[in-house]
Amino acid sequence: MFRYMTAGESHGKGMMAILEGVPAGLKIDEKCINNELIRRMHGYGRGGRMKIEKDQIEIISGCRKGMTIGSPMGLVVINKDHKIDTLPEVKSPRPGHADLAGMQKYGFGDARDVLERASARESVAKVAAGSVAKLFLKEFCIRVTSHVTAIGDVKAQTDGLSFDEIEKFSDISRAKLRCADKEAEKKMCNLVDEAAKEGDTLGGVFEVIVDNVLPGMGSYVQWDSRLDGRLARAIMSIPAVKGISIGNGIECAYLKGSETHDPIVYEEKEKRLFRETNNAGGIEGGMSNGEAIRIRGFMKPIATLKKPLKSVNIDTKEASRAATERSDVTAVPACGVIAEAVVAIEIASVLTEKFGSDSIEEIKRNYNGYIEQLKNM
């Protein structure tokens, strides 16, 4: 099973991830990892730090001659903006951040000790680990992408688009906000410009799509082995994400069962069972069902504002304005990339749990055997 831990502070020496469970024999392409790190940094509405950092991966363990050897992988990204010891104290905690609760938890008198670790900069380590999981999934023709479906109150019309049509816009060179609806994207960019002038921020919605996952990944047997639960936890671990929906999840609450569930049919030519629709978003009973997995994440507006909200000075207890830090106007496109990473880790994890985890060759043997089993059903 794939699992990871991260370490590092926003303005510390660097961010790092330790990724365990990567099978031996996986070819590691550092260019692919670096490309994912670049994708995380881009998007209309990002802040000044994106112009400072040039994130590059350094693999310090778990590989030999470009191939994994089965031991934990150590992944490091050095921070160019390394000045944690000289930054000013933060005495007025920011609403919407971890500042005040973290100060209360640890007994800190300076929110800097909280915000440096709670910062979304930690997500660079998530993306590094997730990019390795993506390389692993590629060995089984499993693809992961994301796109923006809303910024603020502007919603994109992308229903019915295929994975390939959406993936075209996952590269920031094709879309400023990674949105496949070009008219909606123009309105979104205008909304971002207006928020920037007002010193405000915007949230939105992104969708992650996983293509070509075999049925039966995950389990209905225990609560913590259900794939939808695992994906929900992974997405909700991303800073500023306040909710998720799988398939038509939220909308289904307002519909009848006959309007919600996906009819099962048999295709004689390919000898396979499949769903006519995909309202379930590729997951039923805690398991993948063979259709594309579709997950939407709902991101709140970024909490650091240029026109800060009311706060209290932690020393004097007098009313003040919240501290200000360098920040983005919106980061929904980047949040989608981070979500791709954590989703890829969960899909890779359930795949290795089912088919073995010591080497790529072992997993492929078991994987191909399972495909033959499915054909005989």
Q: What is the pLDDT of residues 14-29, one digit of tens each?
A: 999 999 999 999 999 9
> Which position has the higher pLDDT, 288 or 377?
288
Residues in the chain: 377
Q: Which residues 6+ apart lie within 8 Å of 132 measured at CB?
A: 19, 22, 26, 28, 33, 73, 75
CB 343 within 8 A of CB 8: no
The predicted pLDDT at position 50 comes to 58
Taking the complete model, does pTM exceed 0.75, yes or no?
yes
Quick one: average pLDDT of 50-65? 87
Residue 191: helix, strand or coil by DSSP? Answer: helix
The predicted pLDDT at position 370 comes to 96
Question: Tokens 């992944």 correspond to what residue?
Answer: 75
pLDDT per position as a tens digit, 202-229: 999 999 999 999 999 999 999 999 999 9
pLDDT per position as a tens digit, 340-361: 999 999 999 999 999 998 999 9
Quick one: average pLDDT of 21-46? 95
CA distances from 360 to 17, 25, 73, 218 (A): 22, 6, 16, 20
Lowest mean per-residue pLDDT among 95-99, 147-151, 187-191, 271-275: 271-275
Confidence of residue 170 (pLDDT cuts 50, 70, 90): confident
**Burial track 152-190 (b if 16+ CB lie within 10 A, e otherwise):** bebebebeebeeeebbebbebeebbbbbbbeebbebbbe
Quick one: average pLDDT of 236-259? 95
The predicted pLDDT at position 247 comes to 96
CB 66 within 8 A of CB 27: yes
Q: What is the DSSP secondary-structure string of 63-115?
A: EETTEE-SSPEEEEEE-SS--TTTSPP--SPPTTSSHHHHHHHHT-S-THHHH
Quick check: 160 pLDDT over 90? no
Quick check: 300 pLDDT over 90? yes
The predicted pLDDT at position 48 comes to 63
Quick one: average pLDDT of 73-92? 94
pLDDT per position as a tens digit, 176-206: 999 999 999 999 999 999 999 999 999 999 9
Quick check: 52 pLDDT over 70? no
Measure CA 342 to chain center: 5
The predicted pLDDT at position 31 comes to 96
pLDDT per position as a tens digit, 311-344: 999 999 999 999 887 779 999 999 999 999 999 9
Measure CA 190 to chain center: 25
Percent of the chain with pLDDT over 70: 98
Q: Return mean pLDDT, the chain.
A: 94
Quick check: 49 pLDDT over 80? no
